[in-house]
Amino acid sequence: MESHNNRSEGDSSGSDKRPAKSKRKANGKRSENNNKENNRKVNFHFRNFDSRKENRRWIILITLLTFLISSFLSLISSLMENASLLAALAITVLIIVIGIIFDIIGTAVTAADEVPFHAMASKKIYGAREAIFLIRNAEKVSNFCNDVVGDICGVISGAGATYIILRIAGNADTLTSTLTGLAVTGLIASMTVGGKAIGKTVAISNSNYIIYKTGIIFKFIARRKNSSKANKRKKHVKEGRKLNGALGRNQLP
């Protein structure tokens, strides 16, 4: 009996040692695998600049648009030279608001979802196809809205701040003109940055709604252009018929 008990005790102690060893081995393998995974290097590949014709055309187009828009807005800001203080303030605030609105559109187009607009386009809802076009060209739209219009408005609002400072402290002493310049510049910068911060929050949370409304505006502009082209074609057709009728009458004996 004693030998039988000793054997059972030995078997139980051996059975306790075996799972402990197996657990240690398993933990060791897991730690080795974790170390291997942590030591793995992640290779990121840099994509070369795509030199297709579309990108070249877009670069040329966006450069020309930047020149034209900056010239137009600088022409508006030059009106502040002979304008009153309230008019100069109104023009500067208008330029800041334009920059914030375009920044909202540029942020919303990168966060919008294309899927719900396909259902809207299948039902032929006004502006849905234009919204899909904007989302599919989100890179170009955000480049135009955020970089082109946003940066131009920032530069020209700075020029407007200079006109406002000259209006307020034109003949004042150095201290007054310096304090006025700091106050006006800080106010315009805070309006621009704060407005864009609020606009980005609104754009991300309401991206689909903003892009849908932008698509409606695009559709309205496209319809106006198409209607004007159709009217021109009708006029040309009528004039051609009149000329053909006059030539036919002249050829009669």
d(CA 160, CA 96): 10
d(CA 72, CA 3): 106
Confidence at residue 117, expressed as pLDDT on a 0 to 100 scale: 93
DSSP state of 84: -
Q: What is the dihedral of CA 65, 71, 76, 79, to 10 degrees?
A: 180
Over residues 98-152, the pLDDT tens digits come to 999 999 999 999 999 999 999 999 998 998 999 999 999 998 899 899 988 888 8
Q: Which residue, 123, 120, 111, 147, is CA-closest to 215?
A: 120
Please check the confidence at residue 5 and state whether its pLDDT lies above 80: no
User: Comparing 117-131, 141-155, 217-231, 236-250, which segment has the lowest mean pLDDT?
Assistant: 236-250
Confidence at residue 84, expressed as pLDDT on a 0 to 100 scale: 81
Please provide the distance, in angstroms rounded to a whole number, between the alpha carbons at the two ends of the chain. 145
User: Comparing 26-35, 130-139, 211-220, which segment has the lowest mean pLDDT?
Assistant: 26-35
Q: What does the longest C-alpha to C-alpha distance in the chain come to?
A: 145
Both tokens of 148, joined, read 């082109």
d(CA 217, CA 229): 19
Both tokens of 242, joined, read 């009149």
Q: Which residue, 233, 206, 192, is CA-closest to 98?
A: 192
Phi, then psi, of 206 in degrees rounded to 5: -130, 40
Over residues 36-59, the pLDDT tens digits come to 555 555 555 555 555 566 677 888
The mean of the pLDDT values for the chain is: 77
Count CB-CB contacts under 10 A for residue 116: 13
- Confidence class for position 249, pLDDT limits 50, 70, 90: low
Both tokens of 11, joined, read 């078997």
pTM recorded for the entire structure? 0.67
Alpha helices in the chain (DSSP H): 2-39, 53-78, 85-111, 115-122, 128-136, 138-142, 150-168, 174-205, 207-251
Please check the confidence at residue 67 and state whether its pLDDT lies above 70: yes
Please check the confidence at residue 69 and state whether its pLDDT lies above 60: yes
Over residues 195-209, the pLDDT tens digits come to 999 999 999 999 999
Confidence at residue 17, expressed as pLDDT on a 0 to 100 scale: 46
Break the chain into its structural domains and give their ranges: 53-114+138-209
Note the Cα 202 to chain centre separation in Å: 13
d(CA 230, CA 105): 31
User: Comparing 24-33, 72-81, 145-154, 224-233, which segment has the lowest mean pLDDT?
Assistant: 24-33
